[in-house]
Amino acid sequence: MTNPPNAVPDISVILSVYNTAPFLKQCLNSIVNQTLTNIEIICVDDSSEDGSYEILREFAAADKRVIVIRQEHAGAGKARNTGLAMAKGKYLSILDSDDYFEQDMLECAFKAAEENHAQIVIYRADFFNQSNYNFEPCSYSIIPSMLPENNPFSAREIADHIFNIGCGWAWDKLFRRSFVKESGIRFQEIRTSNDMFFVFFLEGFSGVISEVILRGCNNHVTFDENPVNTKNLSLDLSSNANICFGKKCSFNGRLRLSVKRDSGFGMIEIKDGCRFGSGVLKIFNSLFQTMLQINDSCTFDDGLEIVASAGKKICIGRDSDFSKYIGIFAGDEHTVFDVCTGRSMDSVYQGLSDEDNQLLIGEHVLFAKGAFVMNGTRIGNGSIVGANSVVKGVFPNNCYIAGNPAAIFKRDIAWSREIYAADIKKCGRKEYYAKTMEE
């Protein structure tokens, strides 16, 4: 079968395949024989070794709607992301290759989505009991007692238990493609449970998001109340990661958070009322715990980049203000060696104190455009960092820091968020306009 030329498919069915030959023909037959015919079927083979790829090619030869891609073995998450990148349909259906659809399932789901202008449609599922060869309803795929009386409904209506109404599976849901694209979300490219974060993020995307635990992956992602305009948010997690946003955070444009590790534990925590333009926050762990903590009411303009690695800790005090193109680096994304001795020059191997392995920015600190702050720096409350300054060292409260390398330019200064302020109390807390105290 062939779709009409240049027609936008009603649904793109994305099928990740790896060594499922015993079930694959039944799965594919259930898709190509759907009563809804204006579909595309994107099959991504993850280097199967049991004849699955040959079965896919056989179906593609017989039905032009079937598209087959073969990738190096990288897991279902990567395969699904490959399918997402190719999809052209109005809606997305993501099926496991050892499952199959009822013949009119896609038509029913498509009609429900169109009639209700839905972003997500969830449908019931049956399990096949291999001990008695019977189909049995899956009682927990949808839990009616958790649903509101009205249908359709918004995530905000059941914000306190939105993630309890069903399971974090992608295969029992239909997603509006424009909604997925707007969110910027992708599948985690990990061995198991790669669809759970994808599903839970989208279910809560347009409303209040509470705590989400990615079971089996040791990732802990918390979006507390009302993160505003997260349309380009991107998270790239790994095991033992913890990312926590406080209440009423707003993210304009693209904010990317990345936690990668060899081993150990990484954390990014953003407290209440912080605001961001576009930015990149990265944590790279080695054998040591790495942490980034941004406290209440900090504001960041475009071009922010914060990187912590190899046991470094970055802590930014509340009410600090960062202009454009600020770099805050505690460690690098690589290791430098002394060729003569063969020893690593990374500070984590030099026996530095915990204090010297931290980058600490006090409360109510103002950073002008292009400032760059390095590991081992401590800046006291109420200080100002001048434009294009390169900062490393210990600086007291309420001083003006400038230059490359940065030095104290003036003491006993204070600043206010108001453009025209006649009263020094407009600087905020009393400690924000205190006299400089040398350490």
Residue 175, domain CATH: 3.90.550.10
In a domain, 131, yes or no: yes
- Using alpha carbons only, give the angle 67, 70, 74 rounded to the nearest 5 degrees: 130
Q: Rounded to an integer, what distance in angstroms lies between the CA atom of residue 391 and that of residue 373? A: 5
In a domain, 360, yes or no: no
The larger pLDDT score, comparing residue 1 to residue 380, is at 380
In a domain, 355, yes or no: no
Lowest mean pLDDT among 34-48, 66-80, 180-194: 180-194
In a domain, 382, yes or no: no
Q: Rounded to an integer, what distance in angstroms lies between the CA atom of residue 204 and that of residue 120? A: 11
Q: For residue 257, what pLDDT is reported?
A: 64
71-100: per-residue pLDDT in tens?
A: 988 887 888 888 888 999 999 998 888 887
Q: Confidence class of residue 227 from pLDDT cuts 50, 70 and 90? A: very low
The larger pLDDT score, comparing residue 338 to residue 401, is at 401
Neighbours of 250 (CB within 10 A): 16
Q: Rounded to an integer, what distance in angstroms lies between the CA atom of residue 397 and that of residue 33? A: 71
Which neighbouring-strand residues pair with 408? 401
307 and 284 Cβ atoms separated by less than 8 Å: yes
Residue 326 backbone dihedrals phi, psi, to 5 degrees: -90, 135
213 and 188 Cβ atoms separated by less than 8 Å: no
Please tell me the total count of domains within the chain. Answer: 1
Q: Confidence class of residue 291 from pLDDT cuts 50, 70 and 90? A: confident
In a domain, 309, yes or no: no
DSSP state of 116: H
Q: Rounded to an integer, what distance in angstroms lies between the CA atom of residue 302 and that of residue 305? A: 9
Q: Rounded to an integer, what distance in angstroms lies between the CA atom of residue 415 and that of residue 336? A: 39
In a domain, 92, yes or no: yes
Average pLDDT over residues 371-387: 93
Q: For residue 138, what pLDDT is reported?
A: 63
Q: Confidence class of residue 412 from pLDDT cuts 50, 70 and 90? A: very high
Q: How far, in Å, are 21, 36, 66, 136 from residue 62 at the CA level?
A: 18, 18, 9, 33
The larger pLDDT score, comparing residue 45 to residue 275, is at 45
In a domain, 319, yes or no: no
Domain that holds residue 150: 1-209
Q: For residue 12, what pLDDT is reported?
A: 94
The larger pLDDT score, comparing residue 338 to residue 49, is at 49
Average pLDDT over residues 392-411: 95
250-282: per-residue pLDDT in tens?
A: 655 556 666 665 455 567 777 766 777 677 777
**Chain mean pLDDT for the chain:** 76
- Using alpha carbons only, give the angle 197, 201, 207 rounded to the nearest 5 degrees: 160
Helix (H, G, I), strand (E, B) or coil at 290: strand
Distance of CA 199 to the CA centre of its chain: 12
In a domain, 412, yes or no: no
Give the predicted TM-score (pTM) of the model. 0.49
Q: Is 218's pLDDT higher than 50?
A: no
